[in-house]
Structure formats: structure tokens, C-alpha cells
Structure 1
Amino acid sequence: MGSAALARLPRAGSMPRVTSRPALVPVPDEPGSRFSTERIVEQFVRSLRAQERSPCTIKQYAHIARMFLARVPKPLDEVTERDIDLFREHLVLQRHYSKNSLYTTIRGLTCLFRTFGLTIADHQELPRRPERLPRYLSEEETHRLFQAAARSSRDSAIVHVLAFCGLRVGELCHLQLEDVELERNILHVRSGKGDKDREVVMDDRARAAVDRYLADRATTGGEGTRLFPVGPVTVERIVRECARTAEIPRRVTPHMLRHTLATTLLARGCDIRFIQKLLGHASVATTQIYTHVDTQSLRDAYERAKPQY
């Protein structure tokens, strides 16, 4: 990389440095400084947006960049593999990062350095992420969840759409009123994971819950173009409080309802390729993890085929 290009790179730090080369990022509080850690993050975020990364990824990677620059206050082109190794050790030993969290952090760092034309993080080995089985509710528990949500037409509609349509929480929050096609009982999911659109079938009970919510919303003068004008944190709270009211003795999340739909459909004989399309999985291999969850079907198959020694 040429020296002219390096001179344009930002530098983060808290102590002044004496160097024969132009500083990439002056100290944030230094008089006359034009760049700072936030300037690096701003450029990084702008690059991620230009790549059409998801809002969740952008927010996550920006946090990773700030965290790293606070821990390693030096010009980006002076960062060594040892610096990254020590940062990685800090995350594991001091902050007790899981393999999944560490995986995401290394991916974010690699993206950060590549944005500024540097490859120092490319040599970092990604941890092998554990393959955990999805957690899901029984059909009886899901029914109790519906009953608990009935006190609010909005909450009821949200829980029904999550449980019958299998949407990710971000997809639910981004639904527009025009994405609801009542004539065909279809939801149009725009720019889902991987920036892919898909159509999702609404069960009659989910449709009825949405109808009640829209009727109440029209009566109270609700405005805006979003179907559910709430954020992911609010949706998580709604599901959590409904689970508590339903006396479900486990931590229940919106994504758990997505797992519940997939597991229940598979147990009832639904073709795995339909489940793949419904959930928006790019590969059927991702959907196949639900085949390991249906213990009852496994037990039934074993009883039919077990050897008679």
C-alpha cells in the first residue's frame, strides 16, 4: 500500500505519538485534530452501508470497531498480529466471550481492516462455533402464550405472526402495511436476511389476530406506514412478559417462536423444502438442524425399525 494512501487512513489514540510518518489518526483530544476514533467508525459505517449490509450487522460491527480502537490506541497500519492476539485473549479471559461472540468479533475486525486496505486481520483463525440444537415451545405452551397475549390486540398480532409465519424479529419490525396482502393471506417479507424477499403464508388465526389489531389501530387513530411501529427490544419484552404470564418456566424469545414453527411443521410431516422457503434459509442444510430436534419422531422411527436381538 502506498504512503499516500496510508496518510489518508485515520488513527485513534489517547497519547500523542512521535513518528517520522504522517499520523493516520491524530489523538481525538489533540488541538487541531481532524480525525478521531469516531471518524474511523463513521467511514467504516459508510462503507458497510454502501455494501448494503443489514442494520444489525452495521450496528454490531461499529461496536466492535469502537471496542478495538479503545483497546489498541495506535494507527491502523501499525497494528500487529500480536495486538490482535492480545485483544482476542482479553475478550476470552477477561470478558468471557463465547465462541459465537468471538467469531463475530473477528469477522468484524477483518472487515474493519479491509475497509482501509489492510489485511493484518486476515490471518486470524475463526473459532469453530458450536452447533446447538434450537430451543422451542410445545404446542400446549404456545397456546398458553396466545392466551396471555390476548389482553392486547397488538401483542396478540405480534405473537401470532411470529408463531405462525416464522419471521425474524427484524423482519417483523420492518413490515409495512402494504406488505400485508389480506386477499391471499400473504405477508411480503422485504429484504430479509441476505437481502432476499419472500412471501409467507398467514394462518387463519394469525390473519384474525392481525385483523383485530388493524381494527383497533384504525379506531385509535394510529398512523405511519409500518405494520408494527415497534423495535426489536419491545418485541422481545412483549414475548417475555407473555411467557411469564403463561407461566412458561423458561426464557422465551421471538426467535424461539421461529424455531417452534419449524419444529412443529417438521414433526407434522411438512416437506423440509417448504420449511426452508418459509424461513428464508439460503440452504436446506441450515433447515436440516430441525431434523435433530424432533425427538418423538426419532423415537417412533426407532421403534418401527429397531432390531429384534
Structure 2
Amino acid sequence: MADDALAGAVTAFLAHLRDERGLSPATVRHYGRDVEAFAHHAREADLPAWGRVTEADVRAFIAARHRRGLGGRSLARMLSALRTFFAYLMREGLVANNPATGVPAPRAPRRLPETLDVDETARLLDGNDDDTLARRDRAIFELVYSSGLRLAEVAALDVADVAGDPETLRVEGKGAKTRIVPVGRRARTAVQAWLAVRGSLSPAGEPALFVSRRGRRLAHRSIQQRLRVMARQQGLDRPVHPHMLRHAFATHLLESSGDLRAVQELLGHASLATTQVYTHLDFQHLAEVYDRAHPRARRKRD
């Protein structure tokens, strides 16, 4: 394929993205980089014309990038750029079909979520709560761990949600889906301790359960920052974020019960496949125990 045909089509495509679709400069730059990579491949493979590019050509390009170490997410982004590019060429009458439409990206390996073990969780939550903000923070993170709450879910709680020291809590999760979750004894105790002093920060009529120094609903970022500080104070040697407590809830519950369906319901996952990542965490734990304990697994000492 001639260089001028390659360059002309790519230049016109990027102008279309910028001027007609109004995409940001960064997005146009990313599309341009991905399409230019394919154009370079077309030159190297001596493809005759854009209209003669086949699905097999696109597959060969993606396979080559995969062999060079490009990950699944990057390849998926690259395929998205190619589909958009060939859709533009179809609109302009330069090609008859879109050869990138049926090409799947290699599946990216699922990253296991970071979590805390039982001892780390206990160390984190068993700190002092001898001032108002410490009581508030203790209540927040006891609830997250006790009930497997998301950051947005705990931040959205109102005082009315915990009226009467309930043993269950109704929360609204992703997609406005409501679920009922249990509230453990320690979490209930921590919430009641916070409610006893909440009035010193919160003005009358404020519905939010957890409020800032100014008496307003506590922001997500503030909750994240408070947990990082709390983890450092308790001697944890790595960054801790609220979702790690939700992961700890799921992992510890699954280790004890083995009931994946129950964990799915408690987490509010729409698909069991989402919850199954915790079976990998559980297996990792069992494998570590096996390696330490089984006579045929232990390494010989030097």
C-alpha cells in the first residue's frame, strides 16, 4: 500500500474525529497512535489497499502485538480504534466492510483484588476511638467490614437507616439495586458510640449518618484519606483503601462458609462470575497453608 494512501486516510480520519465528532486532543492522539501502528503493519505486510484489508490481516496484526507483550486492555483499545477507523472509511466509500468488527481481543487476566488478612483487619479496627472523629472513623470501617459495603454505599447512609440499632441494613447499590445486609455486633456498637457524639459536629436536620468537621455529609475522598491515616497509625505497612475492607469481608466469609451464592447476595453482585474471583483468593490461602504444612510440600532446609 502506498505511503500517501496510508497517510492521507489516517490524516482525514483524525480530522474527522477532531472537527466533526469534537473529541478531545488526547483521545484523537490515542486513536492516531493506534491507527498509525496498523498503518505501519500494513506497509510491512505490503497490503495492497485499505479496501483489501481482511479480518485475517487484522487478526495477524493483533496477534503480533500480543506476542510483543501488549496486554488485553491495550489490544481491546487498539481494536476499538480500528473499528472506528474502518467505519469512517466505509462512510467515505473507501472500503466495503469493516474487517475489525469480528476480531476479539485476547482476554486480559483478571487481577485479584487486594485484601487484608484476619490479623491485619483486627489490628486496623481495634485502635483507639477516644475522640469524636476516631469514633466516626471506627463506625465507618466497622460497617464496611461487617456488611461488605462499597465506599459510595457507606457514604450515602442516613441516620434514619440505623434507627433502633438494627441487625440488618437496607442499602442501595450499583444500578439503584437495593439489598439487605447483616450488621455485626461490633459494627452496631461502633455506630451507637458515634451517634452518641455525632451531635457535636452535625447541625439539626442533617440526615447524613457520617458527617465532616463542618457537619456535612462526609465525602468519598475524605473517607479514603481517613482510612490511610488510620492504617498508618495501626502499623500497617501498605496503603489501605475502603474496598480492601469489602474484599476482606468477602474473603473471610468465603473461607469460613464456602457459600459462594451467599457471598454474591451480600456483596450485591449481579453475576456469580464477579464473585468467583474470591474463590481464587481462597485457593491462594489454602495453597499457602499447604506449602507450609504438607510434609511433601515443605522445602528442605539448606
Q: Same fold (TM over 0.5)?
A: yes
2:198 paired with 1:217? yes
Residue number in structure 2 paired with 1:135? 114
Residue number in structure 2 paired with 1:144? 123
2:159 paired with 1:159? no
2:161 paired with 1:168? no
Measure, in 2, the Cα distance between the counterparts of 1:204 and 1:166: 14
Higher Cα Rg: structure 1 or 2? Answer: 2
Aligned residue identity for 1:263 = T
- CA drift of 1:165 comes to 1.2
Alignment of 1:166-245 (within 5 A): 166-180=148-162, 182-190=164-172, 192-222=173-203, 223-228=205-210, 229-245=217-233
Alignment gaps of 5+ in structure 2: 1-15, 39-64, 85-90, 92-97, 211-216, 297-302
Residue number in structure 1 paired with 2:259? 271
Aligned residue identity for 1:214 = L
Identify if the C-alpha distance between structure 1 residues 221 and 174 changes in structure 2 by more than 3 Å, giving closer, same or farther: closer
CA contact (8 A) 2:34 2:78 kept: no
Aligned residue identity for 1:85 = V
2:242 paired with 1:260? no
CA contact (8 A) 1:187 1:202 kept: yes
Measure, in 1, the Cα distance between the counterparts of 2:221 and 2:288: 38
Per-residue deviation, residues 174-208 of structure 1 (Å, max 9, x unmatched): 22333335453222111x12331111111011111
Aligned residue identity for 1:139 = V
Per-residue deviation, residues 140-162 of structure 1 (Å, max 9, x unmatched): 21111113362411111111111
Aligned length: 230
- CA drift of 1:128 comes to 2.9
Identify if the C-alpha distance between structure 1 residues 298 and 12 changes in structure 2 by more than 3 Å, giving closer, same or farther: closer
Q: What is the TM-score of this pair, normalised by structure 1?
A: 0.59
Residue number in structure 2 paired with 1:45? none
Per-residue deviation, residues 106-134 of structure 1 (Å, max 9, x unmatched): 989x99xxxxxx9x997886563321222
Measure, in 1, the Cα distance between the counterparts of 2:102 and 2:186: 51
Alignment of 1:110-125 (within 5 A): none
Residue number in structure 1 paired with 2:58? none
Percent of residue pairs identical: 34
Alignment gaps of 5+ in structure 1: 1-10, 14-22, 26-36, 38-64, 73-80, 112-117
Q: Secondary structure at the match of 1:194?
A: helix
CA contact (8 A) 2:115 2:248 kept: yes
Measure, in 2, the Cα distance between the counterparts of 1:158 and 1:127: 40
Measure, in 1, the Cα distance between the counterparts of 2:145 and 2:28: 41
CA RMSD of aligned residues (A): 4.2
CA contact (8 A) 1:148 1:243 kept: no
